[in-house]
Every structure is written in structure tokens, then in C-alpha cells.
Structure 1
């Protein structure tokens, strides 16, 4: 392996840190590398061509008061596959907040579990959401450029998907929304369009937009809601976009006092707003369903007069009645999908009758679903999901779920090995939905190393076809994406 250290950042954290989200599988990585001629066990498929990207929350300095993992700065990890070879890079996202704290050598913004008044100074950019925009939640590639985003709405930070060179912020010809953009914008690989939403504490409380392949904002509409909400994801079909108004939302009294606190209303139905992709506010149709909170949608598609939506229904969104974790894990119960009781679920919205039907599709606690990107918004059969570790926000297994038959294939890893959100990368010239590869990063606590693992998506039981060594063990994190070479 050839490794070039590009930059090493000074950490303001204690060397013997025991915080559960600044140690162990969440131990921060403060060095940036380029690496090539990587060590490989097995063989990298020559028909795997594209880029796998993952975002990671990375702690840099002691917090002003409390630390939550989502307070960490965004660090992207990129591995590029080309003709049987692979190259790795990692870089911090150079957000305005990251650069300001690097200059100050300390935390300047209050964390998401603190009152914003705890911030040391008003550094302007945090004002959009009263929080630091760290661009650490999600990543997607649009128009050949990687976009890093923040779940509380912020800028879209642009990077070269292969080298991770900083390309500044997104402008969309000067029409980037003042409200920012939430994490989980969605790419339609067939049209090249990017679909996004944002939300805020002021009416109309949500907006929805579409950006074309050339980076032009072609649709941007109000989505009026009854009050401030906490949406996290959207879904789309070939002709429609599905937005949501779920009964886990901001407490209005807390907002009036200048901070965020959420509440779940079991007496309020879930609502789904279905709008034609380039429709208007007046075109939005609302459907009601059982109350829940959904962190992530799997996919959606049209089936005659119906829209089919798959996602993960939380049966206990606020960890009510759950046994509280002790010690250093106290207060992080809502990061454990086992406590929130997330289960795969399917909703059907009948556009002819206005009726909603719904049903569970799995009994396992899973989350962070991915599908073959060529099937996003189209009929899908398979989803690739992460199994959530008990007591910690991390993933210890992969599950391929056949939504037609209900069958689930489980891939478990050695004790102490955790994986990333796993993408499905179609092989060149693929003919079937699962004709390709699953790609994930691992963090091996026992051997203090990380690898990129590649599996044949149709034959998971045969184990990885390639295990590719990385320069340093990487931290656990959140979201990832796959961009085929033809889309770069």
C-alpha cells in the first residue's frame, strides 16, 4: 500500500477519552490520506467501476457542555474503483463552522442537546438553525459532484467525489434556498434530477424543490404544515414525490424560548403529502396513516393507481418505557433502533380513492436501507439494510431483504467488527436488480484496522470477493452513496 499523509489536524480531546461517541468504534480520525496500490485479499472485480462515499461525524474539540455524535464535523471517505484497481481518500468537509473552530482551536457552537445560548459567540452561519452546520449527515453525487449535507438544513458543500478536493458551496445560479437544504436529497439516476426539501420553525414550515442535471433549480414550492415539524427523509417515484408530516415534531413552547425539544403525539396521524414531481402547492394531496416516526425510507414506486412506499416504522419513537442505559451511554437511548423498535413497513396510497393501507414487512430490527440506484423511484424487489447494535449507534450485520418473498439473508461479521451503510453497486452491463456488488467500510475494533469489503449482491453467503485495506481505522458514521463511473 502506498500512503500519502495529506494533513494531520490537532485534536482538542483528551487522549484517554471514554465518551462512547468519541472512543471505541466512534474514535475520531484526524488525519487525511490519499492511498493507492491498496492491499487486497481476493480480487477487485473489473466490472465494478465508480465511487463509494461515506460521511462521518468526527469530534475535534471538547464540547462547551454535552457532546452528541451528531455534533461532530463531517469527514468524507471515498474509494474509487476502476478496472480492478482501487484508490482511497478521506477529507474533512471544509464548512464555515469547521474552519472557524480550527482557527479558534476550540468549540464555538453549542451542541444539539444544549441550549444555543451556550455558544461562545454568534458566528453568523449557525443562525439558520441555531446550530452548527457540520455537513456530516449525508452525501450524494449530482452532476458529477459530491454534496455533503446536514440533517437540520444547511448548505450543500461540494467536493470532487474521487479526490475530495473542496469545491465550495452550492449556489444553483444564485437560487439556493435561504432556508438551506435538509440531508437526504434524492437522485433520479434516469433523469439526473435532484429532489430535496427543507424545513424551519416558520410558516409554511417546509419547502420542496427539484434541480435538473445541469444544476438549475426548476421547481421550488411551499409545503404548508400545521406547525414546525421534524422530517428527515423523502421518497419519490417516476412521477411523484412523497413528503411527510409525522407526529414527532418540535415543541412549540421550547421553540418560543429559543431551543429545540421534540415531542411525539400518539393521538395525531402520520400524514403523507404526494405531489407531482414538478407540481405546485395546490397539487399536494395528503394521506393519513398510523402515527409513527420514520427516519429513513427505502424506496417508492407506482403500481397502477397506487403508490407503494417502503420504510422503517418506529413503534416507540421516544424510547417510552424503555430501560435507560447507564454510565456513559445514559441519554443516548434514542440512537438505538432496538429501543425505538424500527421495523420494515409498507404503505400503499390509492390515488383514485384517497385511501391508505399499510402493513409490516419484517420482524427484524433493521434500518439504513439502500436499493440499487437504477431502481430508485421504480419497482424494487431487494433492499440492503443494516442491523443495529444493541446499546450503541453502530451496525454489526447486513441483511438483504427480498420484499417479494419476505426472505432475508444475514451477513454477520466477527466480534468487534462494525460496518457502514452498505451500497448496492450494479456491475457494468448488469441485467438483474441484484446483479452487482455490495460495498461497505468496516471498523475492526479487535485488530484496530479498517477495510473496504466487496460482496457479490446475489451470493452473499459466499463471503466477500475482495477485502481492501485502508490506511487507518475509520470512525463509525451515518450515510453513504454509490456513484457509477458513467455518472461522474
Structure 2
């Protein structure tokens, strides 16, 4: 198994019992190139592209309490072509990562700590919270774009070599939130950001040529904490949800998040190149939505699917180690109770209708990206381990028939958000593969696992052994090889 250890990053992490620095969340410090990897089964010859995953991977001993979202971004890529696969992983060389490497210690306190403990002033990714670029990852204009949920800078990497291209030049002064969206039909990237100063939100469009085409304020009543957005062929969908900092405490410099149950949720629908005056706001039941699945236009309606949290402000976890009660609660999907949900916004009447699509606790959904922003049929959601931020399996939904199918990764096997890889010559929407990284606690290794989406009950098509053990994380994506090569001019 030809594996090249490219680099071992210096770390000051000390052995500890933190629940999110052990097990499937054990930090990884080694960067590898791997080819001719051990394979159980056979790699499909009709798959061409890259599966890319971002992970939270701390390098420095934390200042105070560590939250897993504080970890440094590490990108993992499995590349597929002609029935072969190769693997690479690299840390994202953010300004914060480089500064801490030079200092040999942590310079920023994390999400669970008072920002005043940081050696850098202010709040958020441009102040007391390090921009680790460890939350999300998409492929746009032929390159990876990694982002941080607290509106940091966008970092670009080559999707095959993981060569670092640095900070994206068009990054606005208020940064880029995680979850920019790529419209594969046009090549455009849609994004938003948020801040503690008026107008509190902005929205923008970047062209297929990677040039900023549009950037507009979207005024909100105050500081908010939006995490995701959605889009259709002609509109983008933003949100103003009733989970945000307590305003009176925020005025005193305290960042205390509350669910304001008396308030309605608001969804802002804006034409793709619209201005603040064009935004139409629709009221809906109070909730928080961490992630949306997809949206599309149907007659006069905008249809939006996502994960409606039934309890956005859960009680502390009684089983958590001392000091981690709140952290564990907000990472526990079984407490937040996200359910697959549908909103319909009627552009003619201004009416909102809502529908529950599944009563199971599900989150972190993906689709065939070729259907993003368009009417679609299939979605793939992650199943979480109760009490933990760990994925134990996947559920495929047929949103037309109402049928669903389940994958269980197996005992002590924890996967990642999958990517959907359309099969070369695919004839319909679910004709392709689900690709995920799985860490096996019993075998003490990580694998890339591939399933044929039309026959999930058959189990994995193949399992590819990965050098090193991947630390867990949040988001992943799939990029078609043909589209990447076309965007790069070759």
C-alpha cells in the first residue's frame, strides 16, 4: 500500500479525557498522499471526481474549554477515475493556523469560552474566535472553497493536489458564512454573511469566472445567527430565525444565545440579483434550522426543504462530564430534535404552508448536486448517535412516493456527511453512488465507503482503507471530474 507521509504538524495537545478529543474525534496531525490503497470489493469504473470532506482537527492545547467547532480545518480528498482511487489530506493553512504554529500555542479561546481569554480582541472570526475554516467545503470554479461558520475568509485549495491557493480575493470585509451554494446549472456561487453591526446581513453572487458579480445588504432587526441558505433557479432564500443572542446581554459584551419562543421564524426570498428592496419576508412557525436540503419553484410557490428543530434550546446533558453539559446538549441531535420539514411560500398570496416529511431525528442532508435549486426527488440524511455528534448511518428519502431506506454503518463505525457521485452515463437522479469516510473504532482505522444509491440494501460496493485515522467533523461535498476539468480549462 504505497503511502507517503508528507508532513507531521507540530502539536501541543496533551492527553486528556475531553469527549470531543478522543475516539472518533481524536486529533490527527499527519498529512498523507496515498495511492494503490487496500480495497475490499471493487472501485466502480463509472465514477469520476472527488469526494471532499472538511474536519475539525485541533492542533494546539486549547485555552479553557474546548468545543469541537474550534478545531483547525483539515481537508480530506478521495479522488476517483477509471476504477482507481487516491487519497490526500492537508490542514487548511489559515492565518490563525499559521500564527499559532509560529507561536507554538493557542492564541484564541474557543466557542465555549469568553473571547476575552483570547490574545486577539473582539468577537467572531475577525476577532476573539479563530477563523479555522473548518466548517464547510464546496467546489466552485474548479477549486475547493473552505469556510467557517462565524463568517471568516474563504480559503481555496486544488481539489486533486490540495495545494493551497490562500484567501479568496473577493472575500467581503464581513467575511463569508459557511454554506455558500453552488448552482451547477450556471456555475454561480451564492453566499451570505452576518455581523453584529447594521445592516446585520449581506448577500452576494460570484460568477462561474470567480468574480464577484453582486453584493447587497439584507437589513435585519438586529444581530442574528443564520447558519445556512438555499436557492432556486431564480431566487435565493435567507432567514431570520428566533435563535440569537440575548440583546440586553449582548449590549454588555456577553454572547448568550436564546430561543425567543414568542417570535416567528422569517424567511427572506430575494431574486438572485435582487437588492434589499426586493426581499420578501414570509413568517413561519418558530424554530431554528441548522441546514436546508434543497429548494425549487413550483407554480407560484417556492418549496423549501430542511431540518426543523423542535427544541432549539435543549436542557443541559446530565450524563456529560463536568463542564461539558451545555456543549454536549447543543451537539446532541436527539435533544435538538431536527425533523425533515417542508415550507411552501406563495409569491402570489404571501401565504406560508408547512409540512412534516419525516418524524425521525435527521440532519446533515445532501442531494445529487445536479438538482440543486430544481425540483428533485431524492434526499440523503444523516442519522446521529443519541448523546453525541457522531453519524451512525444514512436515510434515503423518495420524496415523491414517501418511501425511505436506511444504511447502518455498523457497530462503533462513524461516518461523515456523504457526497452523491452521479454515475458516468447516469439515466436518472439517483443513478450514482454515495461516498463517505467512516472511522471504525474497533478496527482502529478509517475507510472511504461507497454505496450504489439505487441498491442501498446491497451494502458497500467497496471500502478503501485510508492512511491515518480521520478526526470527525461536519461537512463534505462531491465534485464531478468533468466539471472540474472544464472549469480549469483542461
Out of 147, 150, 154, the residue aligned to residue 149 of structure 1 is: 147
User: Measured at CA, do residues 10 and 128 of structure 1 come closer, stay the same or move farther in structure 2, by a change above 3 Å?
Assistant: closer
Which residue is 1:45 aligned to? 44
For residues 171 and 183 of structure 1, the distance between their equivalents in structure 2, rounded to whole angstroms, comes to: 17
Secondary structure of the residue aligned to 1:327 is coil
> Equivalents in 2 of 1:189, 1:155: separation in Å?
23
Number of the residue aligned with 1:461: 457
- Is residue 348 of structure 2 the alignment partner of residue 352 of structure 1? yes
1:28 corresponds to which residue?
A: 27
The alpha carbon displacement at 1:478 in A equals: 0.4
Q: Return the offset for 1:255.
A: 2.5
Partner of 1:232: 227
Report whether the alignment pairs 1:279 with 2:274: yes
- Which of 247, 263, 273 aligns to 1:268? It is 263
Alignment of 1:43-442 (within 5 A): 43-122=42-121, 128-172=126-170, 176-320=171-315, 324-327=318-321, 329-331=324-326, 332-442=328-438
Gaps of 5+ in 2: 485-490
Task: Give the secondary structure class of the aligned counterpart of 1:363.
Answer: coil
Retained in 1: the 8 A contact 2:317–2:325? no
CA deviation after TM superposition for structure 1 residue 466, in Å: 0.9
1:257 Cα shift?
Answer: 2.7
Q: Under a length normalisation based on structure 2, what TM-score does the superposition of the two structures give?
A: 0.96
Cross-structure match for 2:5: 5
1:234 Cα offset (Å): 0.3
For each residue in 1:30-52, what CA deviation from the matched residue of structure 2 results, as whole angstroms up to 9, or x when unmatched? Answer: 00000001111111111100000
Moved more, 422-431 or 196-205: 422-431
What CA distance in whole angstroms lies between the structure 2 residues aligned with 1:280 and 1:121? 35
1:322-351 deviation line (CA, Å, top 9, x unaligned): 653332652221111110011000000001
DSSP-derived class of the 1:409 partner: strand
C-alpha spacing 1:352/1:126, structure 2 compared with 1 (3 Å): closer
Any conservation in 2 of the 1:384–1:400 contact (CA below 8 Å)? yes
2-side partners of 1:133 and 1:77: how far apart?
19
Q: Is the 1:138–1:480 contact (alpha carbons within 8 Å) kept by the matching residues of 2?
A: yes
Distance 1:216 1:225 in 2: 27
- RMSD of the TM alignment (CA)? 1.3
- 1:239 deviates by 0.5
Distance 1:50 1:391 in 2: 35
Is contact 2:120-2:127 (8 Å) kept?
Answer: no
Other structure's SS at 1:133 match: coil
Measured in 1, the distance between the counterparts of 2:107 and 2:127 equals: 15
Mapped to 2, the partners of 1:18 and 1:437 lie a distance apart of 37
Return the alpha-carbon distance in structure 1 between the equivalents of residues 143 and 317 of structure 2: 44
Alpha carbons of structure 1 residues 255 and 128: separation in structure 2 relative to 1, 3 Å: farther
Distance 1:323 1:449 in 2: 29
For 2:448 and 2:41, how far apart are their aligned partners in 1? 12
- Contact kept, 8 Å, 1:325 with 1:333, in 2: the verdict is no
- Deviation (angstroms), 1:119: 1.0
Separation in structure 1 between the aligned mates of residue 318 and residue 305 of structure 2, nearest angstrom: 30
Hey, what's the Cα distance between the residues in 2 that align with 1:346 and 1:379?
13
For residue 131 of structure 1, report the CA deviation from its aligned partner.
1.2
Q: Deviations over 1:265-308 (max 9, x none)?
A: 11100000001111111110000000000000000000111010
- The alpha-carbon deviation at position 254 of structure 1 amounts to 3.1
Listed one character per residue, the Cα deviations across residues 100-137 of structure 1 (whole Å, up to 9, x for unaligned) are 11111111001111111101345x99662531100000
CA contact (8 A) 1:183 1:233 kept: yes
Contact 1:129-1:152 within 8 A present in 2 as well = no
Return closer, same or farther for 1:235/1:468 CA change in 2, 3 Å cut-off: same
Q: Per-residue displacement from partner, 1:61-96 (whole Å, max 9, x unpaired)?
A: 221111000111000000110111101000000000
Change (3 A) 1:212 1:220: same
Please tell me whether the aligned partners of residues 341 and 365 of structure 1 are also in contact (alpha carbons under 8 angstroms).
yes
Q: For 1:403 and 1:324, how far apart are their aligned partners in 2?
A: 37
Cα distance between partner residues in 2 of 1:20 and 1:326: 9
Q: TM-score, normalised by structure 1?
A: 0.97
